[in-house]
Chain A
Amino acid sequence: MLLIPGIIGSAAPQVGDFESIATVTVGAGGSSEINFTSIPSTYQHLQIRILSRDNRAATVNSVFYRLNADTGSNYAYHILAGDGSNASAAAATSTAFTYGMLQTSASTTSNIFTVGIIDILDYANTNKNTTVRTLQGYDANGSGGIRFNSGLWMNTAAVNAVRLYPDGAASFVQYTHAALYGIKG
């Protein structure tokens, strides 16, 4: 590590427990979904960190996610978005999924991927519905989008599975990478 003149090195700070639970790396064949299953309930919070792109014949596509394989209309979400020109907001209720990400697709310049961080807070608590937040975005040198999303799953069960999937029967492409972490309380 190079420290430039005028900078004083100091001891590294302490950090809390942040543990890797599972990682998915999409291979050359692509994948229609990313699944994290059998998630242990031994953490306080979960975080998914993702780099992704899909093969839909469009510039961008949506990624949705479901919890515990629930396909009922038990989700809702809010979106705060910026597209490089305007800020906007949107919401939906009683949906069969919650909104995950706006993701680069086949018509985006090659090798440009979307990044996102999905936090599932207090996921193992069985006394609360589950609320999820996402920060995600992409930039393609002249186009792009960035979003804050909040999602609600109207169910008090502990979250033990997360499924992410692109809209339009698209598939995540090679080099998509998603990692699930657990954060101790």
Chain B
Amino acid sequence: MPKTYEPIATTTLGSAAATVTFSTIPGTYTDLVLIGNFSLNVNNSSLFVRLNSDTGSNYSYTRLSGNGTTATSGRDSNQTQARITADATAQNSGTRQMFVLQFMNYSNANTNKTFLSRYSSVGGTEVFVDLWRNTSAITSIDVKGFDATAIIESGSTFTLYGIKAA
């Protein structure tokens, strides 16, 4: 059988950046997996994604979080970007953090896009299920901070994989 879990692109920031963009994503896979190991320049901030450059209020999420003391759950609706890290856990600027983002059937044009993010840092662990209310195939992913003040620091790495079903 052929290998079906393939790297599509990897980026390592040579200098701080507001956004990391994966564009022209081929529709030839079944699922996408995006893995990030990163730090931000501000305390207690988060990473978000935008899909296909959509800046409309078309994103929402539900999360489950543990900070070492309590387990909590929360959500946001009608957002202009999808949160994938750190809603209920704390960390300082420069702290290494990581996430694994799973997009199922990202190229089908019949369903809204639901995706999972597993996030970890020294402050705790969280899992997010995000919704993008759009049935378009995902062709680009922007990974960004909450706003212009949250910058992704140099040395952060992001790798996009494709998984191809038979």
Chain A interfacial positions (CB closer than 8 Å to B): 1-4, 6-13, 15-23, 49-51, 80-87, 111-115, 117, 135-142, 144-148, 174-175, 177, 179, 181-182
Contact = CB atoms under 8 A, between A and B. Distances in A.
Q: What DSSP secondary structure best describes chain B's contact surface? A: strand
A98 B166 CA distance: 27
B62 A137 contact: yes
Contact of A87 (B16, B19, B71): B71
Interface string B58-101: 00111111100011111101100000000000000000000000
B30 A179 contact: yes
Given A139-B75, A177-B104, A112 B164 contact: no
B139 to A, nearest CB: 11
A80 B127 CA distance: 11
B12 A8 contact: yes
12 contacts: A1-B23, A7-B11, A7-B20, A10-B11, A17-B3, A18-B3, A49-B165, A135-B116, A137-B62, A139-B60, A142-B75, A146-B129
The winner among B61, B66, B110, B114 for most chain A CB atoms within 10 A is: B114
- How many interface residues does chain B have, given as a range? 35 or more
Interface of B: 1-17, 19-24, 30-31, 60-66, 70-75, 77-78, 102, 104-105, 108, 110-112, 114-116, 118, 127-131, 133, 135, 159, 161, 163-166
B129 A138 contact: yes
Which of B10, B61, B62 has the most CB atoms of chain A within a 10 A radius of its CB? B62
A115 B10 contact: no
Nearest to A84: B75
Given A12-B7, A139-B61, A177-B108, A80 B130 contact: no
